[in-house]
C-alpha cells in the first residue's frame, strides 16, 4: 500500500475542513499533485456534520452506561453541523461550487427565512428582515415614515456604483463612513441596527465609523439583496444532509483530478530543511498493520490544529447546539431560518446568531429541528448567560450541547518563509464569505496569483465527460 504514495507531492494538505478541501480541489484542477490527509476517520474536521450519538459522545453530557440517543430514531438520519453557517445564494462559495461543477454532487434548498430581533427580554419582537423596497413598506420593524426612508435607502443601495459619483448622493466615498450614509437618509437607530447587522451582516458596530468604509457596507447590503432576489425567500441556501457535504464534494473534485485521499492518518513530524518545511512523516491507522510513510512536499497547507506552534488565538466563540421538536416561534413555522439578535438590542458588543434547520434538509428525522445559538465570548465565565437571549428564542429544548468557549485561531506568519500555509478557524459569521476570503488569500500566497473562479474547469474538461 505504501508504494502507492508518491515520494513527492506538489502540495500536502492537512485536515479536510472546507477551506482545505476547496483549496485541494482548486489546486488539483490546476494540475497540482495533491496528497490530502486527515487524522480523523471522517471528512470535514471542524466543519463536519455528525450524528446525534457522535454529538453526545463529543460533549460527554450523558450518564455512563446510558444511551440517550436511542430515543431519537435512526442515527444515520442525523447530520448535525458543528459550525452553523449558511451559503449566501449569490455569494462567492456559490460561485466556486458552480464553476467547479461540485454542484453535481450536492443538492441545495433555500433557507426559509431571515429574521431579526428588536428589543430585549419579554418585550422582544422577531420580524422578517425586509429584503426589498416593497417588503420594507410592510415591515413591522419600522414606523410609517421610517418605512419610506428605508424604502428610498434600499432603492439607492440597488443602484449604487462605487465608480459612478452620480450615484453617491453627493458624499465622498473615499472618506465617507456608513454612519454618514445612514444619516443622509435620516435612518433611525433601530433601522441602522437591522440594516447593518441583519442585512450587511456585520457582527459589531465597528463598521459604522470606518473612514471610507461606506462602499464596503453598501456592497454587503447589495450581496444580501441580490442573494434574496435569486430564489426569493431568504438570502441563504443550505445543502441537503448538512454542511459536511461541502468538504466531501470538493474532496471528490480533487480526487477526480488525481488528488490522493487518506483519512485516519496522523502527522508524526513535519520535516524541515533550512527553516522550510519540505515534507511529512505520517502514520495511517485503522488498517492492519498500520502504515508509516514519509513523503516530500513543495508546499504544505492545513488547518490550525495541525500546527499548534504556528497559530495564535484571536477570540473565542460560544456555541450551543439544541435539538427541538418544534419550529422557532414567530418564524411562520419555517422549516429553517436565521435569527440575528443585534448586539445593541441586548446590551452586548457582538451579535447573537440563531441558525435553525430541520428534517426538510435531511439533517434529522421528521418532527425535529436543530437550532444552533452562537456569539463571540465577551466574558471569561458564565458563558451560558451570554447566549441566553438566543436560547430564549427556542422554547422547549429536548437536548442541549454546549462546551467550553471554542478558540478561534489565525496563523502567526503568512507561510512564505517556512512554506507552511495555515487556514483560519471558521468565524462566527452566519455565512461562508470569510471562508472564501481565506481560500483566496491562501491561494494567492501559494500560487503567486489571484484565484480566478470563472471558467475554472473550462478547457481542461477530460474527454470522457
Binding site for other proteins (CB under 8 A): 1, 4, 42-43, 89, 94, 97-98, 103-105, 107-110, 112, 231, 233, 237, 241, 245, 248-249, 251-252, 255-258, 260-265, 284, 286-287, 360, 462, 464-465
Q: Of the candidates 87, 155, 58, which has an alpha carbon nearest to the alpha carbon of residue 436?
A: 87
Q: Tell me how far apart the alpha carbons of residues 44 and 21 are, in angstroms, rounded to a whole number.
A: 8
- Write the DSSP assignment of 158-198 as a string of letters: HH--TT-GGGTTT--TTT--HHHHHHHTT--HHHHHHIIII
- The CA distances from residue 229 to 162, 237, 430, in Å, are 21, 12, 18
CA distance 136 to 141: 9
Nearer to other proteins, 52 or 237 (CB): 237
Measured CA to CA, the distance from residue 363 to residue 391 in angstroms comes to: 20
CB of 463 to other proteins, least distance (A): 8
In the beta sheet, which residues pair with residue 101? none
**Smallest separation (angstroms) from other proteins to the CB of 459:** 13
Residue closer to other proteins by CB (options 47, 284) is 284
43 versus 160: smaller Cβ distance to other proteins: 43
For CA atoms 428, 432, 438, 442, the dihedral sign is positive
| Residue nearer to other proteins on the CB measure, 284 or 321 | 284
Measured from the CB atom, the residue of 17 and 196 that comes closer to other proteins is: 17
In the complex, minimum distance from the CB of residue 233 to other proteins, in angstroms, rounded to a whole number:
8
Does 312 sit behind a cis peptide bond, omega within 30 degrees of 0 on the bond before it? no
Task: Provide, rounded to whole angstroms, the least separation between the CB of residue 412 and other proteins.
Answer: 31
Closer CB to other proteins, 20 or 245, in the complex: 245
What is d(CA 134, CA 127) in angstroms, rounded to the nearest whole number?
15
Minimum Å gap between C-beta 130 and other proteins is 21
From the DSSP assignment, how many helices (H) and strands (E) are in the chain?
11, 20
Considering the complex, state which of residue 3 and residue 164 has its C-beta at the smaller distance from other proteins.
3
- State which residue, 267 or 373, has the beta carbon closest to other proteins: 267
**Shortest distance (Å) from residue 197 CB to other proteins:** 25
Supply the minimum distance, in Å, between the C-beta of residue 462 and other proteins.
Answer: 3
Looking at the Cβ atoms of 210 and 255, the one nearer to other proteins is 255
Residue 302 · residue 282 · CB < 8 Å: no
Do 368 and 51 form a contact (C-beta atoms < 8 A)? no
Smallest separation, CB 38 to other proteins (Å): 8
Q: Which residues contact 402 (CB under 8 A, 6 or more apart)?
A: 59, 318, 319, 320, 321, 383, 384, 387
**Measured from the CB of residue 320, what is the shortest distance to other proteins in angstroms?**
26
- The grid coordinates of residue 272 equal 524541515
Distance of closest approach, residue 440 Cβ to other proteins, in angstroms: 20
Q: Are 22 and 259 in contact (CB under 8 A)?
A: no
Cβ closer to other proteins: 77 or 120? 77
Q: Which residues pair with 113 in a beta bridge?
A: 337
Among 78, 83, 55, 19, which Cα is nearest to 353's? 83
**How far is it, in rounded angstroms, from Cα 371 to Cα 357?**
7
| Set of cell numbers at residue 220 | 454587503
Helix ranges (H only) for 392-453 are 433-447
Amino acid at each position: 500500500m505504501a508504494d502507492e504514495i508518491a515520494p513527492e507531492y506538489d502540495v500536502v494538505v492537512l485536515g479536510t475542513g472546507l477551506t482545505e478541501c476547496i483549496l485541494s480541489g482548486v489546486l488539483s484542477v490546476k494540475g497540482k499533485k495533491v496528497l490530502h490527509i486527515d487524522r480523523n476517520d471522517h471528512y470535514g474536521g471542524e466543519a463536519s456534520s455528525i450524528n446525534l450519538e457522535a454529538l453526545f459522545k463529543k460533549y460527554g453530557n450523558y450518564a455512563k452506561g446510558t444511551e440517550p440517543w436511542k430515543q431519537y430514531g435512526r442515527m444515520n438520519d442525523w447530520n448535525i453541523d458543528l459550525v452553523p453557517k449558511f451559503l449566501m445564494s449569490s455569494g462567492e462559495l456559490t460561485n466556486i461550487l458552480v464553476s467547479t461543477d461540485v454542484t453535481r454532487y450536492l443538492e441545495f434548498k433555500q433557507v426559509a427565512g431571515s429574521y431579526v430581533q428588536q428589543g430585549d427580554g419579554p418585550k422582544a419582537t422577531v420580524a422578517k428582515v425586509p429584503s426589498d423596497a416593497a417588503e420594507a413598506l410592510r415591515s413591522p420593524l419600522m414606523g410609517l415614515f421610517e418605512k419610506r426612508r428605508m424604502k428610498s435607502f434600499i432603492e439607492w443601495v440597488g443602484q449604487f456604483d462605487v465608480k459612478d459619483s452620480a450615484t453617491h448622493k453627493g458624499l465622498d466615498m473615499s472618506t465617507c463612513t456608513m454612519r454618514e450614509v445612514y444619516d443622509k437618509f435620516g435612518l433611525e437607530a433601530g433601522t441602522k441596527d437591522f440594516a447593518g447587522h441583519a442585512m450587511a451582516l456585520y457582527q459589531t458596530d465597528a463598521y459604522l465609523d470606518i473612514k471610507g468604509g461606506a462602499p464596503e457596507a453598501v456592497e454587503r447590503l447589495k450581496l444580501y439583496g441580490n442573494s434574496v432576489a435569486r430564489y426569493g425567500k431568504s438570502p441563504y441556501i443550505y445543502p441537503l444532509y448538512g454542511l459536511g457535504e461541502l468538504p466531501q464534494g470538493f474532496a471528490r473534485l480533487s480526487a477526480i483530478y488525481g488528488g490522493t485521499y487518506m483519512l485516519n492518518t496522523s502527522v508524526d513530524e513535519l520535516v524541515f530543511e533550512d527553516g522550510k518545511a519540505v515534507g511529512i512523516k505520517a502514520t495511517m491507522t485503522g488498517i492492519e498493520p498500520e502504515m508509516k510513510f514519509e513523503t516530500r512536499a513543495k508546499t504544505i497547507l492545513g488547518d490550525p490544529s495541525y500546527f499548534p506552534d504556528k497559530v495564535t488565538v484571536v477570540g473565542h466563540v460560544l456555541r450551543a447546539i439544541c435539538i427541538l421538536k418544534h419550529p422557532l416561534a414567530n418564524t411562520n413555522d419555517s422549516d429553517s431560518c436565521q435569527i440575528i439578535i443585534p448586539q445593541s438590542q441586548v446590551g452586548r458588543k457582538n451579535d447573537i446568531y440563531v441558525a435553525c434547520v430541520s428534517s426538510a434538509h435531511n439533517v434529522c428525522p421528521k418532527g425535529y429541528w436543530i437550532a444552533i445559538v452562537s456569539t463571540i465570548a465577551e466574558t471569561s465565565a458564565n458563558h451560558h448567560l451570554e447566549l441566553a437571549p438566543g436560547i430564549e428564542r427556542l422554547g422547549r429544548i429536548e437536548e442541549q450541547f454546549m462546551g467550553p468557549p471554542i478558540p478561534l485561531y489565525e496563523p502567526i506568519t503568512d507561510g512564505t518563509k517556512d512554506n507552511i500555509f495555515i487556514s483560519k478557524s471558521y468565524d462566527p459569521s452566519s455565512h461562508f464569505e470569510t471562508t472564501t476570503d481565506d481560500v483566496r488569500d491562501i491561494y494567492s500566497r501559494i500560487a503567486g496569483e489571484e484565484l480566478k473562479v470563472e471558467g475554472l474547469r473550462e478547457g481542461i474538461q477530460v474527454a470522457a465527460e
